[in-house]
Copies of this chain bind each other. A is one copy, B any other.
């Protein structure tokens, strides 16, 4: 994997990330294909939007269809047919959200499958092996994500464990990985600047291919989370891609870019689309509002996605109301196009040394209403 920062504007960076499978212009947003597909969306539609990388989830794929199945079918690209880059998350965050179904200790996590009750164990080493077997382009290590309202003691325990596990993961990775796969580090530490700083510095010693901020938007005070991103991102290694995990709404993406984040993933654009909430250049639109049933215009007059090129708000609103399953994909496609355009315009603004005023103007237009 290669990464180069082409241009900076303040802390914001325009770069190029290159895996053996695709060249990714950063800042980039990665659509969530958690279970091996972006819900309701065709791969060809993601290609048309020029996405070069998506996220999948190791834990989900481990449980269903199983790592052996994926490996025997030629690994994750052949299995899913997505030939561009894939980052696989480790499942650490999913354990955090499956309260009670797992037991965590210093060596790993024991858990029960919610599908058949079978018992399993993940260790920092086994999770690297799992992702080597899946064949993803970027491997994320097993981490321990403390809840947003955890005490400092709990945050320290989770953060130290995440750091220890990262050293174990890196060691296993160096023993066995092929050149084509990269390993990123994950930094925990909650909303404690000093802990975050410490973990950034210690994990940087490993000289990994990239570094991620985990444990943001996990229930902490929104301002405190924003503050961490704002203060910690500039301290992360400058010559490596920086990834803000699981964040966020368009405003958070722009804040992250401003602080120097290069990669984002978030289920919100697709999940909210399925629920009828669409992002537009003039703010959010709730398709369940009855006024849309008689509106000729597209979701966003300034959007050139396949959904906006073809369909009226009226037709989409009708299909959503009657529960037609295909519309979930059409709406997701639009929100993904919105995110794609947002980061692409941000990149241009950075290259033009114009990021701050572009950001202000963009956010200002969200208040104009749809």
Judge whether B37 and A326 touch: CB under 8 Å.
Answer: yes
**Residues of chain B within 8 A of A79, CB atoms compared:** 312, 314-315
Taking the closest CB of chain B, its distance from the CB of A318, in whole angstroms, is 4
Closest to A319 in B: B37
Judge whether B324 and A39 touch: CB under 8 Å.
Answer: yes
Given the contacts A293-B65, A315-B80, A318-B64, A324 and B73 also touching, CB distance less than 8 Å: no
**Residues of chain B within 8 A of A65, CB atoms compared:** 293, 314, 317-318, 321
Task: Check if A190 is an interface residue, CB within 8 A of chain B.
Answer: no
Judge whether A81 and B311 touch: CB under 8 Å.
Answer: yes
The interface bits of chain A over 21-41 (1 if a CB of B lies within 8 angstroms of the residue's CB, else 0) are 000000000000001111111
**Residues of chain B within 8 A of A328, CB atoms compared:** 325-326
Judge whether A326 and B324 touch: CB under 8 Å.
Answer: no
Closest to A324 in B: B37
**Residues of chain B within 8 A of A299, CB atoms compared:** none
Given the contacts A65-B293, A293-B69, A296-B73, A39 and B315 also touching, CB distance less than 8 Å: no
Task: Check if A87 is an interface residue, CB within 8 A of chain B.
Answer: no
- Which of B42, B69, B317, B322 is in CB contact (< 8 Å) with A326? B42
**Residues of chain B within 8 A of A182, CB atoms compared:** none
Q: How many copies does the complex hold?
A: 2
**Residues of chain B within 8 A of A37, CB atoms compared:** 319, 324, 326-327
Task: Check if A329 is an interface residue, CB within 8 A of chain B.
Answer: yes
Task: Check if A107 is an interface residue, CB within 8 A of chain B.
Answer: no
The interface bits of chain A over 60-81 (1 if a CB of B lies within 8 angstroms of the residue's CB, else 0) are 0000110001001100000111
The interface bits of chain A over 318-357 (1 if a CB of B lies within 8 angstroms of the residue's CB, else 0) are 1101101111111000000000000000000000000000
Judge whether A39 and B326 touch: CB under 8 Å.
Answer: yes
Closest to A41 in B: B326
Taking the closest CB of chain B, its distance from the CB of A322, in whole angstroms, is 5
Judge whether A81 and B36 touch: CB under 8 Å.
Answer: no
Judge whether A325 and B325 touch: CB under 8 Å.
Answer: yes
Taking the closest CB of chain B, its distance from the CB of A134, in whole angstroms, is 13
List A residues 230-256 near B (Cβ within 8 Å).
Answer: none
Closest to A328 in B: B325
Judge whether A319 and B81 touch: CB under 8 Å.
Answer: no
Task: Check if A360 is an interface residue, CB within 8 A of chain B.
Answer: no
Cα A294 to Cα B72 with chains together (Å): 8
- Which of B38, B73, B321, B324 is in CB contact (< 8 Å) with A314? B73
Taking the closest CB of chain B, its distance from the CB of A274, in whole angstroms, is 8
Task: Check if A178 is an interface residue, CB within 8 A of chain B.
Answer: no
Cα A42 to Cα B41 with chains together (Å): 11
Judge whether A35 and B319 touch: CB under 8 Å.
Answer: yes
Judge whether A325 and B329 touch: CB under 8 Å.
Answer: yes
Task: Check if A310 is an interface residue, CB within 8 A of chain B.
Answer: yes
List A residues 146-190 near B (Cβ within 8 Å).
Answer: none
The interface bits of chain A over 117-154 (1 if a CB of B lies within 8 angstroms of the residue's CB, else 0) are 00000000000000000000000000000000000000
12 contacts between A and B (CB under 8 A): A35-B322, A35-B324, A36-B318, A36-B324, A37-B326, A39-B325, A64-B321, A73-B296, A73-B312, A79-B314, A81-B311, A81-B315
Extra pairs beyond A40-B324, A64-B318, A69-B314 (14, CB < 8 Å): A35-B322, A36-B318, A36-B319, A37-B327, A40-B325, A43-B310, A65-B293, A65-B314, A72-B294, A73-B296, A79-B315, A81-B310, A325-B328, A326-B329
